[in-house]
């Protein structure tokens, strides 16, 4: 598919159309591998696997953004945080400014509390976000929970059998739960209620001291993606998450 260079930069979040035109005309954009200087904003390029460079920053054209982020503690999953920095400040400006749909930039697929760490997915593809967020799809999410008190076998069983939370008379069950040593459990959930893990542990007489999400669906957080770092999802990973592989 061919697109004008100005539109390519605009679609990827490098500024307004006027800003993108200025970047091109000022000689700040190289296209292809190796980089070829292009000063014509109306030059048409095939965007398939297109690499380009804007002010020294390398980029690959992506029709939609699909990302994983290792969320560190002390960040809020909000565009307008109330007390802590926003996770979106951990992303480069083009990802925050992508003009996709009604909202600008990528959006988190669900949220993690400011004191929770681990795997967070982000995208500007509304269908992708809905597919992973909708309760009816039962996408499993795996958490490693560090508990204040020793975990008793009956607590694990109660989490599997179901506990009642204060806002819903219907018991909430863990899809899987196993003890990890004396003070930790690996907990798998297929629905997402407000503070669900913390409230489930409280319901069985324990308390969450630390919470880390290690997996969403078929995607595990790689060991080499450190807190605060992000990475593009591969097409294969996106397909696996959406069931289209």
- The domain spanning residue 46 has which CATH number? 3.10.290.10
Q: Are residues 80 and 52 in the same domain?
A: no
Residue with tokens 């629905």: 191
Q: Are residues 206 and 100 in the same domain?
A: no
Query: What pLDDT score does 100 carry?
Result: 65
Output the six-digit token pair for 20: 């993108």
Q: Are residues 223 and 122 in the same domain?
A: yes
Backbone angles phi, psi at 182, to 5 degrees: -85, -25
Query: What pLDDT score does 245 carry?
Result: 47
* Domain boundary pick from 60, 85, 110: 60
Query: What pLDDT score does 244 carry?
Result: 63
Q: Are residues 55 and 7 in the same domain?
A: yes
Query: What pLDDT score does 103 carry?
Result: 60
pLDDT, the chain, mean? 93
- The domain spanning residue 222 has which CATH number? 3.30.70.580
Chain-centre distance of CA 31, in angstroms? 28
Report the alpha-carbon distance of residue 67 to residue 120 in Å, rounded. 8
Q: For the chain, how many structural domains are there in total?
A: 3
The catalytic residue positions are: 113
Q: Assign 145 a pLDDT band (cuts: 50, 70, 90).
A: very high
Q: Assign 188 a pLDDT band (cuts: 50, 70, 90).
A: very high
Q: Could you list the residue range(s) of the whole structural domain that residue 56 is in?
A: 2-60
Q: Are residues 166 and 50 in the same domain?
A: no
Q: Are residues 75 and 104 in the same domain?
A: yes
Report whether pLDDT(33) > 50.
yes
Who's near 27: CB < 8 A, 6+ residues apart?
37, 39
CA torsion 54-60-63-68 (nearest 10°) is: -110
Element (H, E) at 220: strand 219-220
């Amino acid at each position: 598919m061919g697109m004008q260079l100005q539109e390519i930069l605009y679609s990827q979040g490098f500024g307004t159309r006027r800003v993108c035109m200025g970047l091109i005309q000022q000689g700040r954009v190289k296209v292809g591998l190796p980089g070829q200087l292009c000063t014509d904003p109306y030059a048409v390029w095939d965007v398939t696997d297109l690499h380009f460079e804007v002010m020294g920053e390398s980029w690959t054209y992506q029709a939609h953004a699909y990302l994983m982020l290792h969320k560190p503690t002390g960040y809020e999953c909000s565009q307008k945080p109330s007390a802590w920095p926003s996770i979106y400040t951990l992303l480069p400006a083009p990802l925050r400014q992508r003009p996709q749909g009604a909202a600008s930039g990528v959006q988190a697929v669900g949220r993690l509390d400011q004191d929770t760490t681990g795997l967070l997915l982000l995208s500007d593809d509304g269908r992708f976000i809905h597919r992973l967020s909708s309760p009816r799809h039962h996408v499993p999410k795996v958490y490693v929970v560090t508990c204040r008190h020793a975990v008793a076998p009956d607590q694990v069983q109660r989490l599997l059998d179901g506990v009642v939370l204060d806002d819903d008379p219907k018991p909430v069950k863990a899809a899987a739960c196993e003890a990890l040593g004396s003070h930790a459990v690996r907990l798998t959930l297929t629905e997402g209620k407000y503070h669900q893990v913390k409230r489930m542990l409280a319901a069985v007489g324990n308390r969450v001291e630390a919470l880390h999400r290690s997996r969403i669906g078929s995607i595990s957080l790689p060991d080499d993606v450190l807190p605060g770092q992000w990475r593009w999802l591969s097409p294969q990973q996106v397909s696996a998450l959406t069931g289209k592989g």
